[in-house]
Amino acid sequence: MNKILIAGNWKMNKTVPESLELIHALKEKLRSPCAAEVVLIPPFTSLHSAAEDLRGSDIQLGAQNLSHLGSGAVTGEVSGTMLISAGCKYVLVGHSERRTLFHESDALIHQKLKTALSEGLHPIFCVGESGEERDAGKTKDIINNQLTVGLNGLTLMEMRKITIAYEPVWAIGTGKNAKPEQAQEIHEVIRSRLASLYDPELAQGTRIIYGGSVNPENSSSLLSQSDVDGALVGGASLDADSFYAIINAIK
């Protein structure tokens, strides 16, 4: 059984003082050891102060994006090495908002995964179908293709650092979460794809987390599915009480 991972993706929310306020509130609540690995994913501007504030706690830090290029003349981008030096362990790659708003292709996402791994980060690789793709019966093909292109050529050692996040696009920020059995069905598809691309042991040991309108009310039914190893939480991670309730849903 994989250790449950609960990650809070703050997206483009929270100034530095607001980030620290939320972190303080969460640290207060998470005083005693908890069963989940908790990861906070604030905006770039808050990472360094967040890392300073989280020193000595079990809470991990992640970034929302990274450049597919190394250091140098790449105005406006942030490299994996910079993220490591700011205190990050994790980085989101392939989030649907990056795919849609910034036209990130599967090929670019593959490059970002390679770069993140070579720079020492643990990628959280997001995959998911749109509402139209689901309605057209294409969900499994879309997911399998995103996995095949994204993970192309990664070694077993690299794969052990990857978490997959299944995030159906129609469920993100809509309040319309996937039903637990829908999530379970696609998590099984992902696991069996990993087994065929690598081997069953790797597939079993890879964390596959669900994201899309996770909240304190639906989290325990989603997390009780056998192939759901955690949650990637957006809106509900912006409030200490609701994020803490989701972390506690696995007890």
Decide whether 11 or 197 has the Cβ nearer to ligand PGA: 11
Does the annotation count 95 as an active-site position? yes
Is 65 exposed, middle or buried (CB count within 10 Å of its CB: 0-12, 13-18, 19+)? buried
Asked if residue 75 lies in contact with residue 41, where contact means CB atoms within 8 angstroms, the answer is: no
Q: How far is the CB of 213 from ligand PGA (least distance, A)?
A: 4
Residues forming contacts to ligand PGA in the complex (CB under 6 A) are 9, 167, 172-173, 211-214, 232-236
Point out the catalytic residue in the list 97, 119, 129, 167. 167
Q: How far is the CB of 144 from ligand PGA (least distance, A)?
A: 21
Point out the catalytic residue in the list 95, 97, 110, 119. 95
Closest CA to 95 of 123, 56, 61, 118: 123
Decide whether 192 or 248 has the Cβ nearer to ligand PGA: 248
Residue 2: DSSP 8-state: P
Decide whether 81 or 130 has the Cβ nearer to ligand PGA: 130
Helical H segments across 86-130, by residue range? 96-101, 106-118
Closest CA to 231 of 153, 137, 130, 218: 218
Closest CA to 67 of 76, 56, 79, 84: 79
Decide whether 211 or 216 has the Cβ nearer to ligand PGA: 211
Sign of CA dihedral 116, 122, 126, 127: positive
Q: How far is the CB of 24 from ligand PGA (least distance, A)?
A: 22
Which residue sits closest to ligand PGA, CB atoms considered?
234
CA atoms of 100 and 90, how far apart (whole Å) = 22
Closest CA to 124 of 85, 98, 163: 163
Residues in the chain: 251
Please report how many Cα atoms fall inside a 13 Å half-sphere around the Cα of residue 24, on the Cβ side: 7
Does the annotation count 68 as an active-site position? no
Decide whether 192 or 230 has the Cβ nearer to ligand PGA: 230
CA atoms of 246 and 242, how far apart (whole Å) = 6
Among all residues, which ones are annotated catalytic? 95, 167
